[in-house]
Amino acid sequence: MYILSIESSCDETSIAVVKDGREEICCTTYSQLAEHSVYGGVVPEIASRAHLDRIDTLTKQTLADAGLALAEVDAVAVTAAPGLIGALLVGVNFAKGLALGAGKPLVPVHHIRGHIASNYLTYKDLAPPFLCLVVSGGHSHIVEVKDYTTFNVVGRTRDDAVGECFDKVARTLGIGHPGGVYLDKLSASGDPNKYKFPNPKVDGSPYDMSFSGLKTAAINLLHNAEQKSEELDKPSVAASFGKTIAEILCGRFFAAAEDLGYKKLCVAGGVAANSQLRALLKATATEKNVELFLPELKYCGDNATMIGVQAYYEFLAGHVGDMSLNAAPTMEIAENF
Ligand code: KG4
Ligand code: ZN
**From the CA of 186, how far away is ligand 1's center (Å)?**
15
Instruction: Give the pLDDT mean for 233-246.
Output: 97
| Sheet with strand 291-293: strands edge to edge | 150-156, 140-147, 130-135, 264-268, 291-293
What confidence score (pLDDT) does residue 291 get? 98
* Nearest residue to 269 via CA among 163, 173, 166: 163
Condensed to tens digits (0 to 9), the pLDDT of residues 88-98 reads 999 999 999 99
Ligand positioned closest to the Cα atom of 306: 2
- Report how far ligand 1's centroid is from the alpha carbon of 182 (Å): 11
- Which residues are in the CB-under-5-Å shell of ion ligand 2? 136, 302
Please give the C-alpha separations between residue 133 and each of 158, 203, 207, in angstroms, as whole numbers. 15, 20, 11
Residue 54 vs residues 8, 32, 98, 194, 296: alpha-carbon distances, Å: 11, 11, 15, 46, 26
Take atom 24 of ligand 1 and give the residue whose Cα is closest: 274
With a pLDDT cut of 90, the percent of the chain lying above it is: 95
- Alpha carbon of 277 to ligand 2 centroid (Å): 17
Q: Which residues line ligand 1 (CB under 6 A)?
A: 10, 115, 136-138, 163, 166-167, 178-181, 184, 269-271, 273-274, 301-302
pLDDT tier at 59 (50, 70, 90 boundaries)?
very high
DSSP state of 157: B
| CA dihedral of residues 206, 212, 213, 218 (deg, nearest 10) | 130
The amino acid at residue 298 is K
Q: What is the pTM of this model?
A: 0.97
163-216 pLDDT, tens digit per residue, is 999 999 999 998 888 999 999 999 999 999 999 999 888 888 899 999 999 999
* E strands in the chain: 2-7, 12-19, 23-31, 75-81, 106-110, 130-135, 140-147, 150-156, 264-268, 291-293
Tell me the average pLDDT of the chain: 96
Substitution site in 115, 271, 302, 305 for ligand 1 pocket (most atoms within 8 Å of beta carbon) = 271
Q: Which is higher by pLDDT, 239 or 175?
A: 239
SS3 state of residue 107: strand
Q: Characterize 293-324 residue by residue with b for buried, 16 or more Cβ atoms within 10 angstroms of its Cβ, and e for exposed.
A: bbbeeebbbbbbbbbbbbbbbbbeeebbbeee
Residue 200 has a pLDDT of 83
Cβ neighbours, 10 Å, residue 284: 19
Ligand 1 atom with the smallest distance to the CA of 163 is 12
In 3-state terms, the chain is what percent helix, strand and coil (to 5)?
A: 45, 20, 35
Asked if 214 and 248 touch (Cβ cutoff 8 Å), the reply is yes
Segment 252-289, tens digit of pLDDT? 999 999 999 999 999 999 999 999 999 999 999 999 99
pLDDT of residue 203: 85
